[in-house]
């Protein structure tokens, strides 16, 4: 049947301790980068939504999952438990650090199995200093969990193909199902596994017994059964709130590759592209010469390209191309680069190349600490402080962009201001329910919302020029004798005051 494991990959007993000590040092480096300045930036809208959802009672939590937010359900469930033990920003974001830290030894184990010990250690090092990985290790969302689970799922896929054991196939089913519950896009990695299986047999990179295809399709059927709530949700509700995604162009693809490479200067992208192309060339040569371990390159190439191709084609009809969704291909990108680096001869040439990648990678992480490179972060923390410091008795507040309320609630809870405006929409001072995660306040509701309040604070994210719905909302305020008296701009956030 052959094996994915290259002949020279298994370290001798005398080297095993050094390998694991190196991995431990790399993992510690990754954890330090992930924890550094973890609370420096404000919680933004998506993070506030995650925290608010995790704090809902079970009735409202299950209703909002089914009506709108089934994506990332696994993460929300884990966050619910995590919040029982603390609620500081460091602690809340720390859950993602746990997953990101675990991904470092996970990619080493997969990289060693597919490419050898040296490439496995290089993969772990590159992942630990990757700004894209560090950025989502500090995010109250499921992306670091997603990266971990697609690595583990692929490991069990390779193990199942190698051994044919039912136990390995069951582990593959379980980890793949968890990955899909962490994020819908994980299913694209499973599709890449199917393509890889077909291609491995087609190009003759490795032979499998006839039973392998039957085992794989059994796994697919069970995986579809285990994840059936997701497919029912998509069929009845849609893929979720993704209307903000625009149709991609060439620059978006280049931007994705830059993010996968670690958010540094163009030099880092060029180095990564050269290394990945070298890794693909080594894989092609291995396939052509029927070398043992050639199948691993097929798995990695499919993992990198299949999701990108599918998402690009689907985006022609409905845009779904978002770089953070395509973080599912980050491990493949890194391992192919590691394969290219590890193929250099003489070996001494790898030292300056790795040093350059590490240096530029750390510069990318440093740049991320200063400013985000993939989102416009709403500075809700500063906006909340401003509102509470300037609030007066009998004030009300409307979060026209409803999700701005969620991080506001978090910061307001820790603010000792004497006067806090009454929350008029969404929800009320008592909190929010599942219905409060959708829509904008209509002009018709303005009279009942503002009744009895002398001033109204209105919080919005940047709106399109002359947005007709907001114009109607503002006109309704004017009809109730409110006039705009103050406007304060924050990064990706606007706070307005309307007074009688």
pLDDT of 10 higher than 70: no
Least confident range of 43-57, 74-88, 238-252, 374-388: 238-252
Cα dihedral 286→291→297→299 (10° resolution) = 140
Whole-number Å distance between alpha carbons of 158 and 177: 16
Which residues face 399 on adjacent strands? Answer: 459
Average pLDDT over residues 24-35: 98
Question: Across 326-367, where does the E strand assignment appear?
Answer: none
**Tens digits of residue pLDDT in 403-461:** 999 999 999 999 988 899 999 999 999 999 999 998 889 999 999 999 999 999 999 99
Picking from 420, 411, 414, 425, the residue whose alpha carbon sits closest to that of residue 392 is: 420
**Residues 111-159: pLDDT tens digits?**
999 999 999 999 999 999 999 999 999 999 999 999 999 999 999 999 9
| Half-sphere exposure of residue 488: CA atoms within 13 angstroms, side-chain side | 16
Question: What are residue 425's DSSP bridge partners?
Answer: 398
> What is the DSSP code (8-state) at residue 67?
I
- pTM to 2 decimals? 0.94
How wide is the angle at C-alpha 64 spanned by C-alphas 58 and 65, nearest 5°? Answer: 85
Average pLDDT score, the chain? 92
Which pLDDT does position 1 carry in this prediction?
Answer: 39
31 band by pLDDT with thresholds 50, 70 and 90:
very high
Give the residue-averaged pLDDT of 384-390.
Answer: 97
Strand partners, 398: 425, 458
> Residue 2 — very low, low, confident or very high, per pLDDT cuts 50/70/90?
very low
Q: Which residues contact 232 (CB under 8 A, 6 or more apart)?
A: none
Q: What is the DSSP string of 442-484?
A: -GGGHHHHHTT-SEEEEEE----TT-HHHHHHHHHHHHTT-EE
Interhelix angle 117-128/330-342, rounded to 10 degrees, is: 130
Long-range contacts for 170-176 (Cβ within 8 Å, ≥24 apart)?
172/219, 173/219, 173/222, 173/223, 173/226, 174/226, 175/149, 176/219, 176/223
**Cβ atoms of 99 and 148 closer than 8 Å:** yes
Rounded-to-10 torsion of CA 110, 113, 115, 118: 80
Of the candidates 354, 324, 355, the one whose C-alpha atom is nearest the C-alpha of residue 132 is 324
Q: Which residues contact 346 (CB under 8 A, 6 or more apart)?
A: none
Q: What is the pLDDT of residue 204?
A: 61
Those residues whose C-beta lies under 8 Å from the C-beta of residue 181, and which sit 6 or more positions away, are: 73, 74, 227, 230
Angle made by CA atoms 481, 485, 488, in degrees to the nearest 5 = 135
Beta bridge partners of 488: 495
Residue 295: both structure tokens together: 């199948």
Q: Which residue has the higher pLDDT, 315 or 79?
A: 79
Contact between 48 and 436 under an 8 Å Cβ cutoff? The reply is no
Of 8-12, 221-225, 284-288, 458-462, the least confident: 8-12
**Strand partners of residue 423:** 397
State the pLDDT at residue 271. Answer: 95
Cα distances (Å, whole numbers) of residue 406 to 149, 277, 337, 374, 381 = 28, 44, 40, 21, 11
CA angle centred on 258, ends 255 and 259, rounded to 5°: 90
197, 286 Cβ separation under 8 angstroms: no
Instruction: Count CB atoms within 10 A of the CB of residue 292.
Output: 17
- Residue 244's pLDDT is 65
Q: How far apart are CA 44 and CA 492, in angstroms?
A: 10
The CA distance from 353 to 350, in Å, is 5
CA 24 – CA 33 distance, rounded (Å): 14
Contact 182, 150 (CB under 8 A): no
Residues in the chain: 500
């Amino acid at each position: 049947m052959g094996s994915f494991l290259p002949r020279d990959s298994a370290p001798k007993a005398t080297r095993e301790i050094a390998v694991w000590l190196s991995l431990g040092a790399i993992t510690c480096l990754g954890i330090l980068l992930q924890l550094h300045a973890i609370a420096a930036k404000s919680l933004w809208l998506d993070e506030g939504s995650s925290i608010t959802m995790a704090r809902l009672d079970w009735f409202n939590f299950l209703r909002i999952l089914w009506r709108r937010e089934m994506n990332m359900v696994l993460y929300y469930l884990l966050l619910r438990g995590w919040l029982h033990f603390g609620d500081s920003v460091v602690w809340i974001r720390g859950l993602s650090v746990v997953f990101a830290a675990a991904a470092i030894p996970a990619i080493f184990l997969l990289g060693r199995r597919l490419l050898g010990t040296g490439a496995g250690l290089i993969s772990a090092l590159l992942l630990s200093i990757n700004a894209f990985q560090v950025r989502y290790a500090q995010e109250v969302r499921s992306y670091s969990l997603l990266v971990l689970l697609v690595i583990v799922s692929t490991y069990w896929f390779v193990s199942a193909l190698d051994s044919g054991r039912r136990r390995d196939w069951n582990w593959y089913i379980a980890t793949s199902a968890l990955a899909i519950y962490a994020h819908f896009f994980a299913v694209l990695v499973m599709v890449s596994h199917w393509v890889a299986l077909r291609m491995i047999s087609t190009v003759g990179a490795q032979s499998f017994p006839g039973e392998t295809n039957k085992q794989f399709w059994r796994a697919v059927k069970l995986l579809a059964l285990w994840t059936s709530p997701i497919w029912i949700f998509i069929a009845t509700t849609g893929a979720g709130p993704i209307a903000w995604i625009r149709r991609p162009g060439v620059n978006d693809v280049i931007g994705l590759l830059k993010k996968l490479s670690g958010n540094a200067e163009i030099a880092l992208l060029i180095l990564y592209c050269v290394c990945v192309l070298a890794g693909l060339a080594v894989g092609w040569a291995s396939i052509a010469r029927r070398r043992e371990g050639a199948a691993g390159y097929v798995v990695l190439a499919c993992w990198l390209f299949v999701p990108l191709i599918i998402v690009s084609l689907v985006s022609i009809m409905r845009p779904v191309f978002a770089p953070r969704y395509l973080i599912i291909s980050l491990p493949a990108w890194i391992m192919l680069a590691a394969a290219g680096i590890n193929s250099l001869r003489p070996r001494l040439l790898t030292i300056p190349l790795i040093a350059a990648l590490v240096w530029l990678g750390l510069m990318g992480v440093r740049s991320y600490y200063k400013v985000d490179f993939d989102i416009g972060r709403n500075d809700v923390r500063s906006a909340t402080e401003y509102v509470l410091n300037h609030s007066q008795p009998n004030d009300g507040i409307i979060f026209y962009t409803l999700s701005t309320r969620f991080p506001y609630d978090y910061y307001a809870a820790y603010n000792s201001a004497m006067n806090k405006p009454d929350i008029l929409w969404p929800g009320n001072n008592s909190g929010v329910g599942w219905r409060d995660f959708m829509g904008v306040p209509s002009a018709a509701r303005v009279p009942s919302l503002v009744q009895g309040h002398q001033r109204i604070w209105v919080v919005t994210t940047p709106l399109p020029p002359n947005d007709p719905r907001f114009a109607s909302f503002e006109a309704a305020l004017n009809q109730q004798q409110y006039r705009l008296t103050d406007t304060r701009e924050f990064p990706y956030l606007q706070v307005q005051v309307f007074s009688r």
